[in-house]
Amino acid sequence: MTHVPIHVTKAFLPPEEEYFMWLSKAYATGILTNNGPIHRELEEALRARFGVPYLRLMSNGTLAIQLAIRALGVKGKVITTPFSYVATTSALLWEGCTPVFADILPDTCCIDPAAIEALVDADTTAILATHVYGIPCDVDAIDAIARKHGLKVIYDAAHAFDVIHKGKSILAYGDASTLSFHATKLFHTVEGGAVVLNDAATDERLRLLRSFGHVGDEHFSLGMNAKMSEVHAAMGMAVLPHVEHIIAERKRVFEDYDSALVGLPLERPSLPEGTVYNYAYYPVLFTDELTRERVLDHLAKQAIFARRYFYPSLDALPYVNSAPCGVSRSVAGRVLCLPLQIDLQVQDIQRITSVLKEVLG
Output the CA–CA distances (angstroms, integers) from residue 122 to 71, 119, 251, in the order listed: 21, 10, 44
Residue range 31-52: mean pLDDT, rounded: 97
- DSSP label at 100? E
| Helical ranges in the chain per DSSP H | 16-29, 37-50, 61-71, 86-94, 113-119, 139-149, 200-210, 230-239, 243-260, 289-301, 326-334, 346-360
Mean residue pLDDT across the chain: 97
Percent of the chain predicted with pLDDT > 70 = 99
**Contact predicate 125/106, CB 8 Å:** no
Question: How far is Cα 101 from Cα 209, in angstroms, rounded to an integer?
Answer: 27
Every domain of the chain and the residues it spans? 16-241, 242-360
Residue 1 pLDDT greater than 70, yes or no = no
Q: Does residue 310 have a cis peptide bond before it, meaning omega lies within 30 degrees of 0?
A: yes
Residue 347 pLDDT greater than 70, yes or no = yes
- What is the three-class DSSP state of 12? coil
Residue 361 pLDDT greater than 90, yes or no = no
Question: pTM of the prediction?
Answer: 0.96
Q: What is the pLDDT of residues 69-102, one digit of tens each?
A: 999 999 999 999 999 999 999 999 999 999 999 9
Q: Which pLDDT value is given to residue 248?
A: 98
Q: Minimal CA–CA distance to 171: which of 64, 258, 290?
A: 64
When the candidates are 3.40.640.10, 3.30.530.20, 3.40.1190.20, 3.90.1150.10, the CATH number that belongs to 16-241 is 3.40.640.10
Residue range 152-172: mean pLDDT, rounded: 98
- Partners of residue 104 on adjacent β-strands: 111
Q: Which pLDDT value is given to residue 360?
A: 95
Residue 241 pLDDT greater than 80, yes or no = yes
CATH class (in words) of the domain with range 242-360? alpha beta
Q: What is the pLDDT of residues 164-192, one digit of tens each?
A: 999 999 999 999 999 999 999 999 999 99
Residue range 271-291: mean pLDDT, rounded: 97
Residues 6+ apart with CB under 8 A from 201: none
Q: Which pLDDT value is given to residue 3?
A: 80
The residue type found at 254 is: F
CA atoms within 13 A on the CB side of 95: 29
**Contact predicate 65/88, CB 8 Å:** yes
Q: Which pLDDT value is given to residue 117?
A: 98
Kindly tell me the sign of the dihedral angle through the C-alpha atoms of 252, 253, 259, 262: negative
Neighbouring C-beta atoms of residue 24, cutoff 10 Å: 11
